[in-house]
Structures are given as C-alpha cells and as structure tokens.
Amino acid sequence: MPGIHFPEGFVWGIASSAYQVEGAWNEDGKGVSIWDTFAHTPGKIVNDENGDAAIDHYHRYKEDAALMAELDLRHYRFSTAWTRILPAGTGPVNPKGIAFYDRLIDALLKHKIEPYLCLFHWDLPQALQDKGGWPNRETAYAFADYARIVAKHFGDRVNVIFTHNEPWVAAFAGHFLGMHAPGTKELGAALRAVHHLLLSHGLATEAIRAEAKRPVKVGITLNLNPVYPATESKKDAEAADRVDATMNRIVLDPLLKGTTPIEGYKIAKPFTGNLIQPGDLKKICVLDLLGINYYSRAVMKHSAKIPVIGVEQVHPEGNEYSGMWEIFPEGLYALLTRIQRDYLQPSPPSPLPNKGEGRNAPELMITENGIPVPDGFDFDGRIRDERRIRYLRNHLAQLHRAIQDGVPVKGYFHWSFMDNFEWALGYGQRFGLVYVDFETQKRTVKDSGRWFAEVIRGNGFEI
C-alpha cells in the first residue's frame, strides 16, 4: 500500500513546558519566576489568565504519564522550572523541587517513556531578573550552575538534555516586542539577551558534560521560520534577508558555525560594543542535537513605515490560517533542506573552527510542531479534530520528503500532548492531542491523539 514510512528507530514524542502545564506556582518552596510576575500583571495576558494552576500536571503527572503510555507516546520533552530547583536562581537547592522531578522522571521511566529534559522554557527566576536578567552576562553563569545541579541529580536517568527552548523568542518577544516576560521593549536588551542565552548554552553544555557520569546528549531547541519575500522586487528580497538574519541566522550561525551576524548589523552597533567577548563564540558552538520548532513561515516586504528594521509581514490571501499563524507545510521542507545545505554539509573551514570535536554537525529533530484548533465535543462525547489530523498528515509528509531527500531528521515531537496555557494568549488556543477541561482538569483524548498513536505504532501512515 502506498504510504509514508519513517526510518527504523525514528523517535516519536510529544512536548510541553513547565509554566504551561505544571501549575502549583507557589507550592513546595517554588520561587517566583518572571512568568508568574508577568501573568499577574493586569493587561498582559488575554482575559488576565495565568499559569497559577495551569493543567495541574504537578499533581497529575502520574495519570498523565499513564495516558501517554496508553497512546504509545514513548518520548516526552518537558522542561524543569528553574525556580522549583533553585527558588532564587542561585544559592540553596530546594529539595522538594528535586523530589518532584525525581517522581516525574521515575513515573515516565516506569511506563518506558524516555524523558527529554529541557532546562529553560522562559521562566527565569524573578530574583535573577531583579539583577538584570538575560541582558546581564552574570545570568549565563548562574544558568550553567543550575544546569550542573540538574545533571547531577537526574543525569543518571536522563539521556538527553536541552539547554534552551527558543532563545530567540525569550530574547526578542521578551525584551524587544514586550509581549512576553519580562515585557521590556528595548532592542539593546534583546541583543544582549540573545547573546547571553547562547553563551549560557555553551557554559551549561560544559557543566553538564563535566557533571554527568555517563554520556548525555546536549541539545538546544530553536524556533526557525523560513522567510519568503512578498514579491520578486530587490527591496523585498533584501527585507526578507534582513529578517532571516535577525530571526534565524542570529541563532544558527553561532551554534553551528561559531560566527555571528550581530556584529554586521548597523543598527546593533550602539548596543553591542563589548558584548561578544573573545572566546564566546567558540564556547557557544557545541551541540549534539539541534531541535527545530516549526509552526509557520514569514512572508516579508520592505516598508519604510516600520522603524529599525524596515520590514512588514504580509499574510498572503487564499492560504489557510489558524488562530495564530499561516499553515504552510511546505515551509518545513524548505527549512530542513536549507539547514542541511547551509549548515550541515561540509563547507570551507569557518574562521572559528570547532576544534575537531564534530559537535557542530548535530543530530536533527523536530521538537515542536502543532496547530491551535477551537476543539469541542460532538454529541457523542468525541472530539473530531479533523483539522489537526490534516495538519499532522501534511507536515509529516513534508518531513518525510526532506528525509527522503537526505536531511537526517531523527525524530518528531508534537506540540502538545495536552491543551495548556498558551503564554500571552492564555487558555484560548488549544494545541493538545488531549483535550483538557480547564475547570475540572478532566482529560479527553481527541481523535488526533488516537490517529497519532496509530502513526507511531505503524511508524508512518497510509495515503
């Protein structure tokens, strides 16, 4: 039968993050994070919602792990909350925070679910924000200490540790666009934040490797959007290139080539003086696993109206959109083949060669991909989320096409397992394979959850 069949050993999983699912925001000694502060500030989140209770995964992790196993989901990417482990970001470790992740990891392993642990999904300790947050270089060193503590406690059972989720979003949505915590709107702060986030990746990688008693794969997850010019004009092509440099190359170049486009930005000059110190880029350029989060593309046109960067986003007519983005499966193929072409194929030696450790040719995985759908129950209590199934089919087909064409992607994690708190958009955007009633916390598997389970069982699907 014709079908889409993935390579043997392909890793199938689901993803989540601490602030979006755990709740228990001030239980068992947890410290306050910048997302607690931000979501408690009126006007920042749709309907002034927050993650105080989220979907109560903190208390329901056992039944959640059992449900994953029921759907044959055997790889779970989650994040640890820095403030549970180190309530003030540095200083004393909170034993109850360690105990929670011990319980969670053990529950996963009991069900043969492999934990993919991510250290930072945006919830910086407020105490470190008060000292300057990511724009302050010291935060990178504090992060490396936190990474060492996590590796020490969980490195015996966890084989994969991601340092960061989407450092670009943490830096730019948080410090330039102001729509995420901490909510500032300064280009200089965003540029400093992105460099220190990347530096902290390098420092944390060193710390994890020194601490773990066995080999642990260290990765990072990036949000990457292929950028298309709105027309064939030279100005639009240049606009698209500027956006590619400031959204994609700004994180890809340091991690995979040990170079940075930041120093080439004219607009960055006033802010970046001695930001990048000798040796920083070499430290950053270490990576076993590159996680890619793909949701959509960006179509850009030149615009003199928009200050600083001179570009405007265009939403092409006639295409399909979700509550958040254009749906563009071909973009996943374009993105993967571009990464392969520009970053992973043997190329002339870079000015900062990665001293023969081969670390800048990492394994690739899709660590997030998904769609918000306003799901609801049908008369018989089922949730027939055909739209999500179609989204999955089309994106998996493009992923498969990229693999066929030689891009060695080793896994796919769907965002998300359960509906959860979608940052500034609150609870209105449902991304789950499992529906959550936010009042009662009842979980109901959607049709897409069952469909995805079949894909995993068959390592593909018929067309």
Q: Which residues are catalytic?
A: 166, 368
169 contributes a contact to ligand FCB by CB under 6 A: yes
| CA 17/CA 33 separation, integer angstroms | 14
Q: Which residue has tokens 């039968």?
A: 1
Could you tell me whether strands 443-445 and 311-313 are parallel, antiparallel, or unpaired per DSSP bridges?
A: unpaired
415 contributes a contact to ligand FCB by CB under 6 A: yes
In whole angstroms, the minimum distance from the beta carbon of 293 to ligand FCB comes to 6
In whole angstroms, the minimum distance from the beta carbon of 372 to ligand FCB comes to 7
293 contributes a contact to ligand FCB by CB under 6 A: yes
391: left (phi over 0), alpha (psi -120 to 50) or beta: alpha
Sign (positive or negative) of CA dihedral 116, 121, 126, 128: positive
Task: Give, as ranges, the residues between 369 and 398 that touch ligand FCB (CB under 6 A).
Answer: none
In whole angstroms, the minimum distance from the beta carbon of 280 to ligand FCB comes to 25
**Candidate residues 35, 431, 452, 461; the one interacting with ligand FCB per rule CB under 6 A:** 431
**Candidate residues 36, 49, 166, 244; the one interacting with ligand FCB per rule CB under 6 A:** 166
17 contributes a contact to ligand FCB by CB under 6 A: yes
Q: Which two tokens stand for residue 301?
A: 């046109």
In whole angstroms, the minimum distance from the beta carbon of 53 to ligand FCB comes to 18
423 contributes a contact to ligand FCB by CB under 6 A: yes
Q: How many CB atoms lie within 10 A of CB 161?
A: 27
Which residues, including other chains, have CB under 8 Å from residue 275's CB and lie 6 or more apart?
A: 191, 192, 195, 262
Q: Applying CB under 6 A, what is the total number of residues that bind ligand FCB?
A: 12
Could you tell me whether strands 289-293 and 217-223 are parallel, antiparallel, or unpaired per DSSP bridges?
A: parallel
Q: Which two tokens stand for residue 336?
A: 């993967």
17 or 94: CB nearest ligand FCB: 17
In whole angstroms, the minimum distance from the beta carbon of 326 to ligand FCB comes to 14
Region of 154-162, 163-171, 336-344, 398-406 interacting with ligand FCB (CB under 6 A):
163-171
Q: Which residues pair with 3 in a beta bridge?
A: 462
Q: How many CB atoms lie within 10 A of CB 450?
A: 13
**Candidate residues 33, 83, 223, 248; the one interacting with ligand FCB per rule CB under 6 A:** 223
38 contributes a contact to ligand FCB by CB under 6 A: no
Alpha-carbon torsion, ordered 20, 22, 203, 158, to 10 deg: -120
368 contributes a contact to ligand FCB by CB under 6 A: yes
Region of 162-170, 174-182, 183-191, 262-270 interacting with ligand FCB (CB under 6 A):
162-170
In whole angstroms, the minimum distance from the beta carbon of 221 to ligand FCB comes to 8
139 or 165: CB nearest ligand FCB: 165
| CA 67/CA 52 separation, integer angstroms | 23
50 contributes a contact to ligand FCB by CB under 6 A: no
Whether residue 49 contacts residue 39, with contact meaning beta carbons closer than 8 Å, is answered with yes
Of the candidates 112, 174, 154, 64, the residue with the CA atom closest to the CA atom of residue 423: 174
**Candidate residues 236, 253, 419, 422; the one interacting with ligand FCB per rule CB under 6 A:** 422
Angle 130-135-137 from CA coordinates, rounded to 5°: 95
Residues lying near ligand FCB in the complex (CB under 6 A) are found at 17, 20, 165-166, 169, 223, 293, 368, 415, 422-423, 431
